Every structure is written in structure tokens, then in C-alpha cells.
């Protein structure tokens, strides 16, 4: 029976426990996406706090795919020296770190990049349609941007990469019929809608070789009318698993999914269970052998341990609790099993938009 605080491996990447820091936008990179001392310091805090594996905040693979200000970038070889300093420092504390590769698609921040957003299809917004439909040439260029970014991550010493295929970002947009209205080989049925994700994965695998861990983050579902369904996710996960993806992180929702956005505000209640995607994870485990990382709402040691020992998930991922308590895993491991102090109010993201970086805005109001 697996245990939460046991060593394990994803491919040849050895981990000291089964708790992972889920990719979280830190808002601490330079204006051009470069690594800063503050970003390195945060990574070191997480590593020293006992986390088994750090996944960086979403790093944009090409300029038109940038989502937010002060977002980490991996679109140029000029980023490699700073990224190398990040991995060197984390490894010096005994930690492991993956880079999450991302492209925001139609939701890219055009004011930051001064480039038109691109996606599988234009997306409806309050201001009308946004984003241009990607041409086949665009698709080829973005696939290459992902594989080039993976090579940079490998050269910088990261222990692997995770492709962001969730939350309404570009791969998620291709997978979802809510966003993808294409009539060519990249749209229509689920087999066509998985094509872009498969081609991104295959290009990265060719670039980095057979031994470098490649993970992907997928939505359990979009929680949108005509969005990605549980059945679509299971099909996609099984197809990726068959091609050799090394682990899949399950999340859910998009920025337009109402109360079911990825970072749901407020504490769990009877209508908002602690583990947002447990039912979907159980369905996944019935048919798919690829290791599963589960994120979403997990706030107690007992729940995290149960999910692992019952085989609902192979790894537990945390995001907001580690903003409040970077040392949460060490606290749990030492025997202090009080629930995470995070109140899930999403206030931690507000400083990011001011250039101050992510931080808990209620820390100090409660006894710790």
C-alpha cells in the first residue's frame, strides 16, 4: 500500500514524498520573463519546506502566448542562464523541480506582447470575439515553440517538464468543443481535438530524448455547456498514456467556468467537497495506468493520505496552501497534522497584478 511520505519515482526522477507543488503563477519574474532573485528564493522556500517536487508557474513558450505580467518565460535561449541558477539552487537544497510549459492561446495578454492572440478558434467575450484562428503554419510554429522550450528547460537543469493542457489555455482550448470550432483535422470529434496535444507531446519527446520526464496537466472537465467532458478527458489521458506520457495531473475548470474555476474561492462545504475532482480521479484509475497527480481543494493531511492509500491518486498536488505555508509538508511530516491554514479566498493573487508577487494577504491575522 503506498504512503504519502514514502520515496517514489516518475521515470528516473526520484522523489522523497508524494506531495507536489502544483504550478502557480508567482508574478515574480522580470518584465521579459527572466528569473529574478525573488523567484529563486520562493523556490528554495518550497524545497526547504519539504515538498517532494516543485512545478514552476506557467512559463510561456512564445511571446504571443504570454498570459500575465511578470510571468516566467522560456521562449528564448537568453532565459537559460537564469533558469540554470534556479535549478542549481533548488538542487543544492536537495529538491526537484519541473518547468511547466504554457501558451495562453486566445486568452493571451495582447497588451503585454503587442501581438494578436491566436487559438483554435476565436473566443466569445464581453467585448466580442477575441483571438485569431490558427493557421496550419501557426500550429507548426507553436508545436516547435513547445519543443524548443522543453530543450531549454532540459539545458537549464530542470528534472523534467509539464505541459499545461488545462484551465482554458491553448492545449485545453484545442481539446474543448466549447473553444474549438474548427472544421479541419484539429477540430470536430475528440480524436481530432486531441491531435494538437499529441503532436506537442511527440515533438517534445523527440527533442528531449526517451529518459527526460514529460508530464501534462489536464482538466477533468471544463464545467461548461458543450465543454470538455469526463469521457473526453479519459479518452485523451488514455491516448497520451499509450504514447508514453510519464504522469498526468488532473484539475478542472476554466476562467469562464463560474463557480467551478480552477481556484475556487472559500472553504469547502457540503456543496463544494474538499477534493474537487475525486469522482473523476476514481474513474481515471479504473482504466488508465499512467500515474495520476490530483490537485484541487485538498487541505488536510488525512485527506491527502487517504487519497494515496486508497489508490485514488498516486501523488497529491497543492497550490494555495503552500502560498500561506511554504513549510506545510515539513509540518505534516514532523507530526503536526493540523489542516492547512489557507482560507482559499484568492487574495494571494492580487499582489501579482501590482508587481509585488504572490503572497498570502491574511497571514498574521490568525494564530499559527
Mean pLDDT in runs of 10 for the chain (368 residues)?
92 97 95 97 96 98 96 98 98 98 93 91 83 97 98 98 98 98 98 98 98 98 97 98 98 93 72 84 97 96 97 97 95 95 84 83 56
pTM of the model: 0.95
pLDDT of residue 267: 61
169 annotated active-site: yes
pLDDT of residue 236: 98
pLDDT of residue 185: 98
pLDDT of residue 346: 81
- C-alpha distances out from residue 124 to 121, 134, 180, 227, Å: 10, 16, 12, 14
Judge residue 226's burial from the number of C-beta atoms within 10 Å of its C-beta, 0-12 exposed, 13-18 middle, 19 or more buried.
exposed
Q: β-strands 315-318, 19-21: how paired?
A: parallel
pLDDT of residue 363: 67
pLDDT of residue 141: 98
CA–CA distance, 343 with 123 (Å, rounded to integer)? 33
Show me where the domains of the chain are located. Answer: 8-354
Q: What is the largest CA-CA distance in the chain?
A: 57
Domain 8-354 falls under CATH 3.20.20.240: no
Residue closest to 172 by CA, chosen among 133, 109, 216, 111: 216
Hey, what long-range contacts does 231-236 have (CB within 8 A, 24 or more apart)? 232/175, 232/176, 232/190, 232/193, 233/280, 233/284, 234/283, 234/284, 234/287, 234/288, 235/190, 235/191, 235/194, 236/175, 236/190, 236/194, 236/197
pLDDT of residue 2: 83
Q: Which of 75, 107, 169, 186 is catalytic?
A: 169
pLDDT of residue 215: 98
Dihedrals phi, psi of 132, to nearest 5 degrees? -95, 145
Helix/strand/coil for 119: strand
pLDDT of residue 329: 97
For 192-234, the three-class secondary structure string (H helix, E strand, C coil) is: HHCHHHHHHHHHHHHHHCCCCCEEEEEECCCCCCCCCCHHHHH
Amino acid at each position: 500500500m503506498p504512503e504519502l511520505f514514502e520515496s517514489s519515482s516518475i521515470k528516473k526522477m526520484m522523489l522523497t514524498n508524494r506531495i507536489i507543488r502544483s504550478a502557480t503563477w508567482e508574478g515574480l519574474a522580470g518584465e521579459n520573463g527572466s528569473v529574478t532573485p525573488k523567484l529563486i528564493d520562493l523556490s528554495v522556500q518550497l524545497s526547504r519546506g519539504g515538498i517532494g517536487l516543485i512545478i514552476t508557474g506557467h512559463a510561456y513558450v512564445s511571446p504571443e502566448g504570454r498570459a500575465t505580467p511578470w510571468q516566467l518565460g522560456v521562449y528564448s535561449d537568453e532565459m537559460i542562464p537564469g533558469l540554470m541558477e534556479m535549478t542549481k539552487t533548488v538542487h543544492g537544497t536537495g529538491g526537484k523541480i519541473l518547468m511547466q510549459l504554457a501558451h495562453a492561446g486566445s486568452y493571451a495578454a495582447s497588451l503585454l506582447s503587442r501581438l494578436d492572440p491566436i487559438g483554435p478558434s476565436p473566443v466569445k467575450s464581453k467585448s466580442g470575439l477575441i483571438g485569431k484562428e490558427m493557421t496550419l503554419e501557426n500550429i507548426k510554429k507553436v508545436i516547435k515553440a513547445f519543443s524548443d522550450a522543453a530543450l531549454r528547460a532540459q539545458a537549464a537543469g530542470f528534472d523534467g517538464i509539464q505541459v499545461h493542457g488545462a484551465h482554458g489555455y491553448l492545449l485545453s482550448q484545442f481539446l474543448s468543443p466549447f473553444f474549438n470550432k474548427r472544421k479541419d483535422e484539429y477540430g470536430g470529434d475528440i480524436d481530432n481535438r486531441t491531435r494538437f496535444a499529441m503532436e506537442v507531446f511527440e515533438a517534445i519527446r523527440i527533442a528531449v530524448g526517451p529518459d527526460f520526464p514529460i508530464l501534462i496537466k489536464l482538466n477533468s472537465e471544463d464545467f461548461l455547456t458543450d465543454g470538455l467532458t469526463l469521457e473526453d478527458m479519459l479518452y485523451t489521458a488514455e491516448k497520451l498514456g499509450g504514447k508514453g506520457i510519464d504522469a498526468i495531473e488532473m484539475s478542472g475548470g476554466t476562467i469562464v467556468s463560474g463557480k467551478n474555476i480552477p481556484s475556487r474561492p472559500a472553504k469547502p462545504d457540503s456543496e463544494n467537497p474538499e477534493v474537487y475532482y475525486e469522482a473523476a480521479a476514481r474513474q481515471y484509475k479504473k482504466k488508465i495506468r499512467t500515474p495520476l497527480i490530483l490537485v484541487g481543494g485538498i487541505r488536510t493531511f488525512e485527506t491527502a493520505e487517504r487519497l494515496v492509500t486508497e489508490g485514488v491518486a498516486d501523488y497529491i498536488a497543492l497550490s494555495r496552501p503552500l502560498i500561506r505555508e511554504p513549510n506545510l509538508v515539513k509540518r505534516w511530516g514532523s507530526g503536526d497534522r493540523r489542516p492547512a491554514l489557507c482560507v482559499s479566498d484568492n487574495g494571494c493573487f492580487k499582489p501579482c497584478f501590482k508587481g509585488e508577487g504572490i503572497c498570502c494577504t491574511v497571514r498574521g491575522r490568525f494564530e499559527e
